[in-house]
Amino acid sequence: MKQHPLCTDCEQAPNVMELPIPAGLKREWAAIETRRRFLGRSGKVLGWAALASLLGERGASGDAQSPSPPSRPLSPQALRLPMFAPKAKRAIYLFMSGGPPQMDLLDYKPNLAALYNQDIPDSVRGTQQLTGMTAGQTHFPIAPSHWSFKRYGKSGTWVSDLLPYTGQMADDLTIIKTTNTDAINHEPAIMLMNTGNMNAGKPCLGSWLSYGLGSMNDNLPTFMVLQTKVNDKENNQPVSSRLWSSGYLSSEYAGVGLRSGGDPVLYLSDPDGVDREVRRKMLDAVEAINRQTLAELGDPETNARIAQYEMAYRMQASVPELVDLSKEPQSTWDLYGPDAKEPGTFAYNCLLARRMAERGVRFTQVYKRGWDVHGNVTGVLPILCQETDRASYALVTDLKRRGLLDDTLVIWAGEFGRTVYSQGGLTHDNYGRDHHPRCFTTWMAGGGVRPGITYGETDEYSYNVVKDPVPVRDFNATILHCLGIDHNKLTYNFQGLDQKLTGTTPASVVQGLLA
């Protein structure tokens, strides 16, 4: 039967085995298909997304073992993923877990000083639900920021004195003052930010990207997660592996943790007494026998297993190379500062994130905990900024110097903001801030976003959005857009619904943020 002229369904697409593409790609496709077989209703997008990534990144150069170059290569566009020319190929997400206080960092509110200790007007607070931690307060006294702000760069961006390095890169940043969320407590909010849903069980942004765009390298995971060491002086809200979980997507799209203690990747190191040579011989024997099994039983799954053991072997070599910083030039240390030499610091993780970007890791997420400043803001916030300010600047600057910033999207965000009124006692020297969902400040830099702008406006209390709100779903839609993905089209059929990162409430790409 003839295909409908308006049909854009990719199921009506070519048989891969008959396409004039390198034999190696066909083999990989066959392996992917095998896996697909076990994913139940995984459907078409997975296969095509994965194939697109193979073709998109390596199709052009062909396969070294291929006897003849492809005569009619398919463009990634024809395969629909990325769905349009992406500005960014990869992303690095600096996640500030706990909720940074926006009015102390980037949302400058000079008029608050005059309102010190006055109750926030009811008209401003409106019907906003309070958390159980301040619902018991009688008063909601305004706590102006303890710090001064200065203008930086050509953009004249106001930046707190806590962030001198961030100020220096103000012209590279796309600052969003009007990010807002529906959740007021950490658990639901951090889940919403990462997975688009407050309840557990949904895939995170990184998993969606891996699923949609696939890998850019043969030796490293597509999506990696870095944890920053806990600082006991801070209030460290927990994170959990559900934040980098693939939810109902295949678990191969889950984030792989790169750790600062022990094996960088779990179980990566050969056991004591097993060297590379022994491992190679062991794997050769395993493969030889597995090939016999394949011949005997004909199960394509066996083939996939052989390939995965080889990938594991390659990872065993490439991950140590990734974390070996001995060849970094002095300029690196000058840029990132001495902290970067200590594994597990935020600076170290930022440096690793740059190295991963260079090596084709699609998505890297760096978690920094401790921003939950319910009290002692003047005591704790300088520590947090000292840990993160220079490193964030170094990462963006480093990427820029290496020409990577153009196709790398860097994102800096927490799960919500904080209240302008003080939680607990307010003095001239100190205050606390409770969770605040209605507005918080985030920034992006690099591939796809417009540098040197500040987007959106909040009221003079940094309590409500007065112009250009960016709800979490729009924030995520915009990230996907920068990576060449229409958030409405990156879907996965689960429980009878075409599920997507941005959920069921209509979301839109924030055009004002785009380059």
| 282-341 positions binding another protein, by CB under 8 A | 282, 284-286, 288-290, 292-294, 296-302, 304-309, 311-312, 315-316
Cβ closer to another protein: 177 or 202?
Answer: 202
Q: Does residue 87 contact residue 447 with C-beta atoms inside 8 Å?
A: yes
For 459-473, give the DSSP string.
-TTS-SEEE--EEHH
Q: What is the distance of C-alpha 114 from the center of its chain?
A: 39
Is 124 a binding residue for another protein by CB under 8 A? The answer is no
Strand partners, 440: 179
Helical residues (DSSP H) of 264-401, grouped into ranges? 276-297, 300-323, 330-336, 346-358, 377-401
Q: Which of residues 410-429 bind another protein (CB under 8 A)?
A: 423-425, 427
Pick 168 or 231: Cβ nearer another protein: 231
Binding to another protein, residues 239-278 (CB under 8 A): 239-242, 245, 250-252, 256, 259-263, 265-275, 277-278
What does the block give as tokens for 250? 């295949």
Residues 6+ apart with CB under 8 A from 93: 205, 206, 363, 364, 365, 366, 410, 411, 413
> How do strand 90-96 and strand 408-413 relate by DSSP bridges?
parallel
Site string for another protein, 61-100 (x = CB under 8 A): -----------------x----------------------
For residue 202, report the phi and psi dihedrals to the nearest 5 degrees: -105, 155
CB of 148 to another protein, least distance (A): 24
* Interface region with another protein, contact rule CB under 8 A, candidates 9-17, 142-150, 153-161, 385-393: 9-17
Cβ neighbours of residue 432 closer than 8 Å, sequence gap 6 or more = 373, 374, 375, 376, 377, 422, 423, 424, 425
How many residues bind another protein (CB under 8 A)? The answer is 127
HSE-CB of 484 using CA atoms within 13 angstroms: 26
Identify the helix (H) or strand (E) that includes residue 479. helix 472-482
Q: Which is nearer to another protein, 69 or 379 (CB)?
A: 379
Residues 474-493 close enough to bind another protein by CB under 8 A: 488
Q: What whole-number distance in Å separates Cα of residue 241 and Cα of residue 437?
A: 23
* Token code pair at residue 182: 């529906």
For another protein, the closer of residues 390 and 487 by Cβ is: 487
* Out of 121, 201, 317, 342, the residue judged to bind another protein by CB under 8 A: 201
Beta carbon nearer to another protein, 40 or 156: 40
Using the rule CB under 8 A, is 47 a contact of another protein? yes
Q: By CB under 8 A, what part of segment 348-407 binds another protein?
A: 372, 374-376
Q: Binder to another protein among 64, 65, 232, 327 (CB under 8 A)? A: 232
Pick one of 124, 133, 325, 453: the residue that binds another protein (CB under 8 A): 133
Nearer to another protein, 104 or 172 (CB): 104
